[in-house]
Amino acid sequence: MAQFQDVSKQSALHPKPAGLVLQYGTAGFRTNAKLLDHIMFRMGLLATLRSKKTNATIGVMVTASHNPEEDNGVKLVDPMGEMVTPTWEGYATQLANAEQEDVLAALKEIIEKEAINMSQEADVFIGKDTRSSSESLSKAVLDGVSALGGHNKDYGLVTTPQLHYMVRCQNTQGKYGEATVEGYYTKFCHAFIQLTKNASNCTDDQKHLSVDGANGIGALKVRELESHLKKELHISLFNDGSAGKLNHQCGADFVKVQQNPPTGMTVNSGERCCSFDGDADRIVYYYTDSEGHFHLLDGDKIATLISTFLKELLTQAGLDLEIAVVQTAYANGSSTNYLEETMKVIVRCTKTGVKHLHHAAQEFDIGVYFEANGHGTVLFSEAAQEKVQQLTEDSSGERKRAALLLQNTIDVINQTVGDAISDMLLIEAILAIKGMTIQQWDAMYEDLPSRQLKVKVSDRRVIDTADAERRAVSPAGLQEAIGALVRKYGRARSFVRPSGTEDVVRVYAEADTQESADALAHEVSLAVYRLAGGVGGEPKPLH
Ligand SMILES: CC(=O)N[C@H]1[C@@H](OP(=O)(O)O)O[C@H](CO)[C@@H](O)[C@@H]1O
Ligand SMILES: [Mg+2]
């Protein structure tokens, strides 16, 4: 077929570096940008096949999120705006690693396995972040799409969650919103203004927020957002990309891991601040107190604030909907305890990686999911959304007020994936409605001191885990060693797991004091080093 001739010709222009093997990991492919041209071309091919298979628009996002500027990466977006399904992650890996002369055969194998009708039309949406390599890499994706005769729409510079949103809007015929960047701002800002317009407790001072844009795409988009906010939120934007380097000593990942404010930002005592990551799908909040101490409000605190707010609204509305919070093993033990014991909310723990959390959250009427690093959102089942909608029509007084707030809360949330902009608007709205300061929010519970370390081993796959990664089942003796160490400290917990994005084993520990958490993490790292084939020097702190 002529189609396949084009693939061969084009593929030769996007050659694979010899010997390179990459895997579609926790968040797509990610490595140094110089190694990715062929991957991009092939993901253009794969997205086109996926579109033909699903008879729907598929998304391709070129980004490496919080990685350094020199890296890049790519993620595929499925029809409802969610991460691509695991079987196709497998195809992505196969196609990515096929030798140059085998690309066509690899492609045909997928077509056959999935019984794809090649005469079906295909549509692919493409977006990219601000990395200097993103421009040419996204062109390689476009080459892949056109080589198989697919249509494309290039959104250019957008955040990852904006692209997810566009895909969902397109495939639901506008029911979720309009598939344009303008439509995105209109929908979320309208809901935000509806939520905050009667927030009489909110002073002008409280409408101010400092945002660290990580010198990335989020900063550009916050600038665009501002005009839609009608002064209901006053943003001071830092690390807007005009001077600093992407993610360098700034952004959500830096702030969370270092437990320090970003550079390039004025952090006045007591003031509410937040950081986005490099593709604006994560957010964390923080402030410094009058003694100069740094206070981080991470994904766990965000999930707690949101679920508390939703639970109160459900009670006021008289709606009997089941609400759950989904976390990972990295969630601070204090947050889990607070949610279960004080809030009486169902808590689920899944493996690391948002696709696992997303999936678990879908099982409830309302599923609030957040990784501790600030990646998360809220999912409402169709039935729950209909009940809320019905109640806005059938009720009056306090019940109607609560139902309208719930309705606008649903509309301010990007349900496709964690979204720093949408999460920020939701958090700002909740604080405004409750007349709550960041200090009061922080005081909901006190985090247990924690520490993360990483250890280099020769093959991290020797570590196998169970129970949502909280227990190591191999190598032999490791879990026993961790258990014995944990018993030495008060309120302690520790677990280890192989990272899905880096060639390291991650170690997490928490305990009643920072010294104990640090000591426990260090001792567990030594046990990993000893029992799981450590290489290089001493285990070193995570940076
Ligand atoms: C401890 C931690 O923060 N892990 C991150 C990190 O995964 P690892 O598999 O731990 O490397 O990157 C993932 C993708 O961004 C993110 O989903 C996850 O939460
Ligand atoms: Mg990200």
- Please, which residues have CB within 8 angstroms of residue 22's CB and are 6 or more apart in sequence? 29, 31, 35, 39, 93, 96, 97
CB 14 within 8 A of CB 140: yes
Q: How confident is the model at residue 278 (pLDDT cuts 50, 70, 90)?
A: very high
Q: Is the CB of 38 within 6 Å of ligand 1?
A: no
Average pLDDT over residues 64-70: 94
pLDDT in tens, 140-188: 999 999 999 999 999 999 999 999 999 999 999 989 999 999 999 999 9
Task: Say how many Å lie between the CA of residue 486 and the centre of ligand 2.
Answer: 32
In this predicted structure, the answer to whether residue 375 has a pLDDT above a threshold of 90 is yes
Q: What is the mean pLDDT of residues 393-404?
A: 95
Task: Say yes or no to pLDDT of 204 above 90.
Answer: no
* Vertex 501: Cα angle to 351 and 237 (nearest 5): 95
* Ligand 1 contacts CB of residue 354 (under 6 A): yes
131 marked among binding-site residues: no
Instruction: pLDDT band for 199, please (50, 70, 90 cuts).
Output: confident
Q: What is the pLDDT of residue 542?
A: 53
Helix (H) or strand (E) run with residue 368 in it: strand 366-370
Give the global pTM. Answer: 0.96
Ligand 1 near 63 CB (within 6 A): no
pLDDT in tens, 35-53: 999 999 999 999 999 999 9
- The answer on whether 135 is annotated among ligand-binding residues is no
Starting from the CA of residue 506, give the closest ligand. 1
Confidence of residue 34 (pLDDT cuts 50, 70, 90): very high
The dotted CATH code for 299-442 is: 3.40.120.10
Q: Which atom of ligand 1 lies closest to the CA of 373?
A: 3
At residue 463, the pLDDT reads 97
How close is the Cα of 115 to the center of ligand 1, in Å?
Answer: 34
The closest ligand to the CA of 28 turns out to be 1
Segment (H or E) for 73: strand 71-77
Query: What one-letter code names the amino acid at 265?
Result: M
d(CA 64, CA 32) in angstroms, rounded, equals 9
Establish how many alpha carbons lie within 13 A of residue 439's alpha carbon, considering only the half-sphere containing its beta carbon: 8
pLDDT at 540: 61
Of 522, 530, 466, 476, nearest to 497 by C-alpha is: 466
Nearest CA, atom 10, ligand 1? 499
Domain boundaries, the chain: 2-157, 183-296, 299-442, 450-541
According to DSSP, residue 241 is labeled S
Does the pLDDT at position 541 exceed 60? no
Identify which of 352, 370, 469, 505 to mutate to test ligand 1's pocket (most ligand atoms within 8 A of the CB).
352
Spacing, Cα 314 to ligand 1 middle (Å): 32
506 is in an annotated binding site: yes
- Using CA atoms, how far apart are residues 30 and 541, in angstroms rounded to an integer? 23
Ramachandran category for residue 524: left, alpha or beta (phi over 0 → left; psi -120 to 50 → alpha): alpha
DSSP 267-317: --TT--EEEE-TTS--EEEEEE-TT--EEEE-HHHHHHHHHHHHHHHHHHH
CB 450 within 8 A of CB 225: no
pLDDT value of position 539:
63
User: 139-148, pLDDT tens digit by residue?
Assistant: 999 999 999 9
Mean pLDDT of 506-521: 97
Cβ 395 under 6 angstroms from ligand 1: no
Residue pair 274/286 in contact by the 8 Å Cβ criterion: yes
Which atom of ligand 1 is nearest the CA belonging to 371?
Answer: 19
Residue having the nearest C-alpha atom to atom 12 of ligand 1: 501
Q: Give 318-336 pLDDT, tens digit per residue.
A: 999 999 999 999 999 999 9
Is residue 26 pLDDT above 90, yes or no? Answer: no
The interface predicted TM-score of the complex, written ipTM, equals: 0.98
Ligand 1 lined by 448 (C-beta under 6 Å): no
Ligand 1, atom 6: closest residue by C-alpha? 501
Protein residue closest via CA to atom 16 of ligand 1: 353
H or E element at residue 473: strand 471-474
Q: Is 469 annotated as ligand-binding?
A: no
The reported pLDDT for the residue numbered 488 is 98
Q: How far apart are CA 406 and CA 429, in angstroms?
A: 12
Mean pLDDT, the chain, integer: 95
- What mean pLDDT is predicted for residues 250-262? 94
Kindly state the DSSP code that residue 261 receives in the 8-state scheme.
P
- pLDDT-derived band of residue 543, with 50, 70 and 90 as boundaries? very low
Of 112, 100, 117, 114, whose CA–CA distance to 41 is shortest? Answer: 100
User: Which ligand 1 atom lies nearest to the CA of residue 353?
Assistant: 17
Does the CB atom of residue 67 touch ligand 1 within 6 A? no
| 399 annotated as belonging to a binding site for a ligand | no
Question: Nearest ligand, CA of residue 30?
Answer: 1
What number is the average pLDDT over the span 479-503? 95
Which residue numbers are catalytic? 65
Judge contact between 370 and 300, C-beta under 8 A.
yes
Taking residues 261-282, report their average pLDDT.
Answer: 96
Opening angle at CA 353, ends 349 and 355, nearest 5: 90
**Tens-place pLDDT, residues 421-445:** 999 999 999 999 999 999 999 999 9
Sort 15 into a burial class: Cβ within 10 Å, 0-12 / 13-18 / 19+.
Answer: exposed
- Is residue 500 annotated as involved in ligand binding? yes
Distance 80 CA to ligand 1 centre (A): 23
The finding on whether 16 has its CB within 6 A of some atom of ligand 1 is no
Q: What is the average per-residue pLDDT within 391-420? A: 97
Q: For domain 450-541, give the fold.
A: TATA-Binding Protein (3.30.310)
pLDDT over threshold 70, residue 135: yes
**pLDDT value of residue 538:** 67
497 assigned binding-site residue: yes
Tell me which residue has its CA closest to atom 3 in ligand 1: 373
Supply the CATH classification number for the domain 183-296: 3.40.120.10
User: Is ligand 1 within 6 A of the CB of residue 305?
Assistant: no
Please report the pLDDT score of residue 530 as a whole number: 94
Tell me the CA–centroid distance for residue 339 and ligand 2, in Å: 26
Per CATH, which fold does 2-157 belong to?
Alpha-D-Glucose-1,6-Bisphosphate; Chain A, domain 3 (3.40.120)
Taking alpha carbons only, the member of 326, 123, 130 closest to residue 239 is 130
Does this chain's domain 2-157 share its CATH topology with 450-541?
Answer: no
